[in-house]
Each structure stands twice: as structure tokens, then as C-alpha cells.
Structure 1
Amino acid sequence: MMDPPYYILFSTQPANSSSLGHPTIQYHYADDSPLALLPQHTDEHVLLLEYDQTSPMPTVTSTSRTLAVTGIKVEEAPGAAVAEDRHNDRMYIIEATTVLAEDKTQLSGERPSAHAVIAQFKQRKVILV
């Protein structure tokens, strides 16, 4: 079986734009405290990438209330083949989207207004297109 991709990027997709970023990677083991998986700052997002050698793709989840994972893909990492260390020269791209204020009220158990539901539908439709 091939080693997993060596590089990881994340792509955030608000309504009309997309940007790539390099995450800070921290390894977490089964016997580590689960409290380490919680965000340490209000603007910090924690994404959990769980790699299983028996599965072709890892699972990715978000612990943030303002960022939702929408997918993961594997692509070529441009320029990686020139590195002296030999490893899998592909990269994971974790796709995520910001959660709107209307979504946050649903998470807290409050009932959104009809206008908020329609605005949320339109925003999600833009993301999917």
C-alpha cells in the first residue's frame, strides 16, 4: 500500500471566493487528552484528519462551530518531486466553508426566521455551483 500524501492544504470557500492555506499540524494519539482537540482561541479552527491504512481516504471533521468540512481530495503537489526526501508527492486538500450566522442559531437550538432559511439556501446553492 502506498504511503499517504505528505502535504496538506485547506481550502476555505465563503460565498464568492476560495483561498488555500497551510494548516499547523499537531499529531494526536489515542492516549492523549481529548481536551487538546478543542480550539485554544476564539478564531482558531481545529480540523481532525483521521488516517486509516485500510481506507483509501481519511475522514475529516471540524470541532469549530464556524467552519464546516465539505470534502477532501488528493491532487499533485507542484514542485514536490524535486525534494530530496522521498515520500508520496501528492497532497490532501481539505475543503471547508464558513458557517453563516443563521447556521449558528440552528446549532444553538433557536428557530431561524423564514428569511434566514431562504438566505441560507441561496448561500449554500452558490457554494455548490
Structure 2
Amino acid sequence: MKKTKWQMRAYYLDSCNCDWGCPCQFNARPTHGNCDSVIRIHIIKGNYGSIEFARLNMAWIGSWPGPIHEGHGKISYYIDERASDDQFEALSKIITGGASGGPFAVYGSSADTVQEPRRAKIAFQARSTAQ
């Protein structure tokens, strides 16, 4: 089965309950024993085959009882309510790791409970500190 090629340039913002530097990113124990995280993505430019999805947002919320690499997590996925049905389906494949390539499959493979993507109003605002 041939996989559809995709690409994405995006602002990516994640936060978790650990100390700065996120120990799980380096195969260490989470600061407080568990990992709770939220990731927000604002797509600057991207496509899944012929489906374009610039200026849309995605988010996911995850929780693991220990470090991410030990698994047993729970993940909920959210896709911008402004997405068309085709964009929603394409972004669902990407964020859940169902599309070839990309980092998203790593998180999905570490979860026992995965909620299907839902539409949501997702705000993403960046401010420049340059003067």
C-alpha cells in the first residue's frame, strides 16, 4: 500500500509537568514520577498529497504514569474546527501517526488509550519580543 507524502512547517509548542528540559526527552524519569503534557501546533505551510492545510492548528493532551518511553499513556487529539472534512482526515492521519514519516507515531505507540481526533476551537498566538 502506497503512503501519501506529506510535509509541514509549523510552530510547535509543548509543555509538561516536569522541570525545564523535560527529562522524558532524554530517557530519564519524569520530575514528579508521571508525565502530563499538552502540545499545540500552528501550521505555517503544509500538505498531505494535494490537500493543503496552512494556518490550521492541532493539539493533543497526553498523560503517562511514568516516562513516555515506558508507555501506558492516554492521548486525546484535537484538530482545528475550521478544517474541511478532507483537511480533518489528513491531519488526523498525521497527528495520530497513521501517515508515513514524522514524529507523531512515537507518542501514539506509547499509549494504551487513544481517543480519536475531535474538532475543537484551538487558539495559537505568538508574539515577537524584537523591537
With the length of structure 2 as denominator, give the TM-score of the two structures.
Answer: 0.26
Structure with the higher fraction of residues in helix conformation? 1
Structure with the higher fraction of residues in strand conformation? 2
Larger Rg: 1
With the length of structure 1 as denominator, give the TM-score of the two structures.
Answer: 0.26
